[in-house]
Chain A
Amino acid sequence: MRDLRILTGFLSLGLVLAGCTRTPASNAASKPARGVSALVEVSGGKQAAAAGGMLLQPVIVQVNDDQGSAVPGALVSIRGPRGTIFDPPTGPTDSSGQFTTNVSLGEMAGRYQLTASALNAVGKAIELKVEEIALGYEEILGRELSEKYCARCHDQESTPERLSNYDNLAVKPHAFNEGDTLNPISDADLMAIIDHGGPALNRSPLMPPYGYTLSKAEIHALISYIRMISDPPYRAPGTFYAQP
């Protein structure tokens, strides 16, 4: 009986000690960790999701010190435009120096610039910008149509479910996010290529016409999807006014 009491005494002492040793550890996490000098994006940037929806992949950033090696236990916080929700919005990096957060974009379609930050040794915030894309109705329609009709040739990525035909084509099609190539092409020209096929603009006949298969509204949806995911971002021509 007495042995048991001693045992429980030891046990509770152990628990208290365990509790004590934990507290300083979590304190260390909230202090600027040793030598934070850079934030690097690991994965999760440039994803497209429906406006208001959650990104399929989490955003993962890594904190590095000036030697370029990962810093575990550094406190990272992430913020974004109005309506963006982070789960969690702030937290310490894990043992491999990475911070993972699930992101839900705001209700407005457009580009969302997220800012991840961590404090360095002198308390200055080191920042990293990550860009995500929220798709509106038209862009989602465009994405679905693109998956069905376009991606087999325009997307180089091959999966068992949908093999890519890209490698088999004599003239290589442009990926839809190739902003440098596609941004200079006007909406009307893109419309003409999709509507009447490549030869309409003296391009390859390997691009067939879709004007008899898709409606004008559907082609418009495709174009606005292409514009939305373009990298570098597409900026529509025309007059722009100062924001109030």
Chain B
Amino acid sequence: MVLGLALESVVEPSKHRRPSLWSQLFGDPIRAFGSLSLLLLLSLAIAPSKDHFSQWRHYQNSYLKMIRGRGDAVTLRRHFQAGIQQIWIPELGVVDRCTTCHVGVKEAGLTDVSLQPFRRHPVMPHDIEQFGCVICHRGQGAATTVEEAHMSTLAWEEPMLPARYLESSCGQCHRAPLTGTPQLNEGRRLMARYGCAHCHTVKLPEGGSLEAEDDAPSLSHIAEKTTREWIYAWVKDPQAYAATARMPNFKLSDEEARDISAFLIANSTPISGDTFSLPTAAQNTPSDPTAGASLYGESFCATCHAVQNAAGNVVGGDIGPELTRIGNKVRPEWLAAWIKNPRVYDPLTAMPHYRFSDAQVAVLTGYLQTKSDSEFLANVHLDPRTPEQVAHGKLLCTEYGCASCHEISGIKKAENFAPELTRIGSKPISQLIFAAGMPHTLPAYISGKLRQPRAFAAGLKMPQYNFTAAQIDAITTALLSLNERAQTLPARLSEPLSPASNYQPAGRAGQLMNDLACFSCHRINGRGSDLAPDLTWEGSVVQGKWLEEFLRNPNTLRPALIRRMPKFNLTADEIATLSDYIMTVYQTPSFDRESMPNSGYPAVLVEEGRQLFYSKYACQSCHIVDPKADKGYIGPTLTEVGSRLNATWVYHWLKDPQALRPGTIEPNRNLTEEDARALTAFLMSQKESARQETRK
């Protein structure tokens, strides 16, 4: 109490004696003016000091400190420019200040520096001044702090692209495959192969849309081909039937699978016309198992079809469906009719029409029938279908979009069945719904969606694919390249895909080539596949007599290959038609086929060519001329090349292989005229007849 009074007495007088802080500072106009000026000065100092202590100035100072002790300090110091640096490319909408902190990006001398942000940019195909940074790396180019430049902010959503998906940026301009972007190429290939564009529209900047390259079979006549039990098992889990099946899993319930199978069988119509005749030979199958296997091998079925071997490895091509359990799937009479002539059931199939005899059809059918798994359909028991099931099945087929990929009579392909993906690579994060626990970034969303499409919400329809982690990365890369920038880039930068060729050879030969599905392996005038040699100029390449013999009995030129030209059992008339057409129409305009003789070269020239072949150019490292001595297995065998190839073609090929077939791996040796002529003479001397004579 006493202390309190004492304190009061101390405080009280001071209140009267000393003026308050307020009156001290602003008590009279002069004081107020003085204090305000001081405050103003301080507030004016905020901006310069903020600038002085900014992140970029810190980085520039540490850069200067770093280069000070180096031997090349003078050069580096001369290249260094203080202050905010900017790459401004109005045409591309680029305002990049990244080089403000990333000072050493273009310094060739900084190879040994691994400290960011001072690392030298690794070699790349473009100039930084021409494209800036964000075109490839994304991020917010105009920002000058680390966080704003690299991360996403709410107002401005463009975080840096993780290096894992960097190739997607190449895809903004380059829509054709590039050698340096394997991941992007693979992603695009997978998108075409799995038919993303069946459901999702992807408009290309140059016009047109992305096309699917899978040909899901028509289901209009499915009852001829298979049973309801198989359809049930298949739609429940396609990968249980074949590990390599491309159809995704729709996670159907038993009832849904039952009703869809009921609908598809009920909806199936018989093949129209009487061309679909069942060979009766199929019924009395010979019981010689080796005959089937060897016919399967001789016909090179494995070029397109794979079979799972005992070790569990899937061996064979991926053009046609896997045949591991084909016996569980197809009806024997359908299989026989299909092998006899697949074009009756599906006029556009990639499978060639082998001219098998009825006996061969029976052997092959019997052999394929044995490829079955007795347990596969053992537990599928379906009651006879009811009209309700059929009606419900049709509803389900419409809802799940079966008709987006398959032709189903009675159901129209839905337009815009799934969200358009034209700009998926720049979709704002605020428009996405993320599953719990996943990082809030666009690449994470896309890859998560590919991994588990239905994990994001209830009632989603996108089916489950079983991609590997690498495949998901590849597809994500391809999808990220479909973005706003790709759509709006100036046309001069765009490198569009060359439009798909719809080349169709004319006349009877054309019909024959469709029937034999030549385009499934060979490319001609831009149409077809890369599995076998391009035939666009085949008429200039080979000699007519050899071509006829080859079509009659295709002996292989590359014994090491597992994929080879099958024997189609063509008639003499068909062979003449094909070979006449090829020799007349598929001629290169760059030289005259007749300008060099195919034989009759002087022995001196031939001998000179032999020397060049074996010593100077060492062609035997890749090619075989003398089967006893040479071992090269990379290029085609040249043992009888003088009877096979045209001398003019050989000469021009030796001079510049890439000019005749772009992308061929035969190196251009830049031969002189004399050397090319001598080598041609030597190669043309390698005749079939000559060899046969020496053998005798």
Question: Complex formed: what's the CA distance from A243 to B67 in Å?
Answer: 10
User: Would you give the shortest CB distance from A209 to chain B, in whole angstroms?
Assistant: 6
Q: Interface code A34-70, partner B: CB below 8 Å = 1, 0 otherwise?
A: 0000000000000000111110100000000000000
Asked if A209 and B669 make an inter-chain contact with CB atoms under 8 angstroms apart, the answer reads yes
Asked if B123 and A220 make an inter-chain contact with CB atoms under 8 angstroms apart, the answer reads yes
- For B65, the closest partner residue in chain A by CB is A244
- For A142, the closest partner residue in chain B by CB is B180
Asked if B164 and A224 make an inter-chain contact with CB atoms under 8 angstroms apart, the answer reads no
CB neighbours (8 Å) of A107 from chain B are 162-163
User: Would you give the shortest CB distance from B324 to chain A, in whole angstroms?
Assistant: 18
Asked if B444 is at the interface of the complex by the 8 Å CB criterion, the answer is no
CB neighbours (8 Å) of A221 from chain B are 123, 180
Asked if B618 and A208 make an inter-chain contact with CB atoms under 8 angstroms apart, the answer reads yes
Given contacts A168-B632, A205-B615, A239-B71, contact A110 B180 (CB under 8 A): no
Given contacts A52-B166, A165-B621, A168-B633, contact A108 B179 (CB under 8 A): no
Asked if B627 is at the interface of the complex by the 8 Å CB criterion, the answer is no
A interface size (C-beta, 8 A): 52
Asked if B634 and A137 make an inter-chain contact with CB atoms under 8 angstroms apart, the answer reads no
Asked if A244 and B115 make an inter-chain contact with CB atoms under 8 angstroms apart, the answer reads yes
Task: Return the contact of A144 from the options B165, B179, B621 (Cβ within 8 A).
Answer: B179
CB neighbours (8 Å) of B207 from chain A are none
Among A2-10, A146-154, A176-184, the one that faces the other chain is A146-154
Asked if B667 and A209 make an inter-chain contact with CB atoms under 8 angstroms apart, the answer reads yes
CB neighbours (8 Å) of B112 from chain A are 240-241, 243
Asked if B459 is at the interface of the complex by the 8 Å CB criterion, the answer is no
- For B657, the closest partner residue in chain A by CB is A213
Asked if B113 and A243 make an inter-chain contact with CB atoms under 8 angstroms apart, the answer reads yes
Asked if B69 is at the interface of the complex by the 8 Å CB criterion, the answer is yes
Asked if B123 and A144 make an inter-chain contact with CB atoms under 8 angstroms apart, the answer reads no
Task: Return the contact of B668 from the options A50, A140, A168, A212 (Cβ within 8 A).
Answer: A212
- For B624, the closest partner residue in chain A by CB is A168
Task: Return the contact of B669 from the options A140, A204, A208 (Cβ within 8 A).
Answer: A208
Asked if B66 is at the interface of the complex by the 8 Å CB criterion, the answer is yes
CB neighbours (8 Å) of B458 from chain A are none
Asked if B123 and A163 make an inter-chain contact with CB atoms under 8 angstroms apart, the answer reads no
Question: Complex formed: what's the CA distance from A152 to B560 in Å?
Answer: 13
Asked if B669 and A212 make an inter-chain contact with CB atoms under 8 angstroms apart, the answer reads yes
Asked if B270 is at the interface of the complex by the 8 Å CB criterion, the answer is no
- For A107, the closest partner residue in chain B by CB is B163
CB neighbours (8 Å) of B62 from chain A are 244
Asked if A120 is at the interface of the complex by the 8 Å CB criterion, the answer is no
Question: Complex formed: what's the CA distance from A91 to B560 in Å?
Answer: 46
Asked if B473 and A206 make an inter-chain contact with CB atoms under 8 angstroms apart, the answer reads no
CB neighbours (8 Å) of B668 from chain A are 212-213
CB neighbours (8 Å) of A210 from chain B are 667
- For A163, the closest partner residue in chain B by CB is B560
Asked if A145 and B179 make an inter-chain contact with CB atoms under 8 angstroms apart, the answer reads yes
Asked if A205 and B562 make an inter-chain contact with CB atoms under 8 angstroms apart, the answer reads no
Task: Return the contact of A137 from the options B70, B72, B122, B473 (Cβ within 8 A).
Answer: B122
Q: Interface code B604-615, partner A: CB below 8 Å = 1, 0 otherwise?
A: 000000000001
Asked if A205 and B182 make an inter-chain contact with CB atoms under 8 angstroms apart, the answer reads no
User: Would you give the shortest CB distance from A92 to chain B, in whole angstroms?
Assistant: 23
Asked if A205 and B618 make an inter-chain contact with CB atoms under 8 angstroms apart, the answer reads yes
Asked if A52 and B560 make an inter-chain contact with CB atoms under 8 angstroms apart, the answer reads no
Given contacts A213-B668, A239-B71, contact A140 B634 (CB under 8 A): no
B:615-651 near A, CB below 8 Å: 615-618, 621-622, 631-634
Q: Interface code B663-696, partner A: CB below 8 Å = 1, 0 otherwise?
A: 0010111100000000000000000000000000
Asked if A104 is at the interface of the complex by the 8 Å CB criterion, the answer is yes
Q: Interface code A113-149, partner B: CB below 8 Å = 1, 0 otherwise?
A: 0000000000000000000000011101100110011
- For A217, the closest partner residue in chain B by CB is B125
B interface size (C-beta, 8 A): 49
Tell me the interface secondary structure of chain A in the complex: loop
Question: Complex formed: what's the CA distance from A243 to B123 in Å?
Answer: 22
CB neighbours (8 Å) of B65 from chain A are 244
Task: Return the contact of B633 from the options A165, A220, A236 (Cβ within 8 A).
Answer: A165
Asked if B469 and A243 make an inter-chain contact with CB atoms under 8 angstroms apart, the answer reads no
User: Would you give the shortest CB distance from B158 to chain A, in whole angstroms?
Assistant: 17
Given contacts A50-B183, A165-B634, A212-B670, contact A56 B615 (CB under 8 A): no
Asked if B145 is at the interface of the complex by the 8 Å CB criterion, the answer is no
Asked if B164 and A169 make an inter-chain contact with CB atoms under 8 angstroms apart, the answer reads no
Question: Complex formed: what's the CA distance from A46 to B186 in Å?
Answer: 23
Asked if B658 and A213 make an inter-chain contact with CB atoms under 8 angstroms apart, the answer reads yes
CB neighbours (8 Å) of B167 from chain A are 50
Asked if A90 is at the interface of the complex by the 8 Å CB criterion, the answer is no
Given contacts A110-B114, A163-B633, A204-B618, contact A138 B473 (CB under 8 A): no
User: Would you give the shortest CB distance from B646 to chain A, in whole angstroms?
Assistant: 23
Given contacts A109-B122, A205-B616, contact A53 B634 (CB under 8 A): no
- For B71, the closest partner residue in chain A by CB is A239
Asked if A160 is at the interface of the complex by the 8 Å CB criterion, the answer is yes
Asked if B119 is at the interface of the complex by the 8 Å CB criterion, the answer is yes
User: Would you give the shortest CB distance from B470 to chain A, in whole angstroms?
Assistant: 6
Question: Complex formed: what's the CA distance from A243 to B162 in Å?
Answer: 26
Question: Complex formed: what's the CA distance from A51 to B164 in Å?
Answer: 7
A:198-244 near B, CB below 8 Å: 204-206, 208-213, 217-218, 220-221, 224, 236, 238-244
CB neighbours (8 Å) of A217 from chain B are 125
Q: Given contacts A209-B667, A239-B72, A244-B62, could you give 9 more A-B pairs where the C-beta distance is less than 8 Å?
A: A54-B469, A108-B114, A108-B119, A136-B122, A137-B124, A140-B181, A169-B621, A213-B658, A241-B71
**Pairs A-B, 4 closest by C-beta atoms:** A52-B163, A168-B631, A107-B163, A141-B180
Residues on B lying within 8 angstroms of A by beta carbon are 62, 65-66, 69-72, 111-115, 119, 122-125, 162-167, 179-183, 469-470, 473, 560, 562, 615-618, 621-622, 631-634, 658, 665, 667-670
Q: List 12 A-B contacts (CB under 8 A).
A: A52-B163, A52-B164, A108-B119, A137-B124, A145-B179, A206-B618, A208-B621, A208-B669, A221-B123, A221-B180, A241-B69, A244-B65
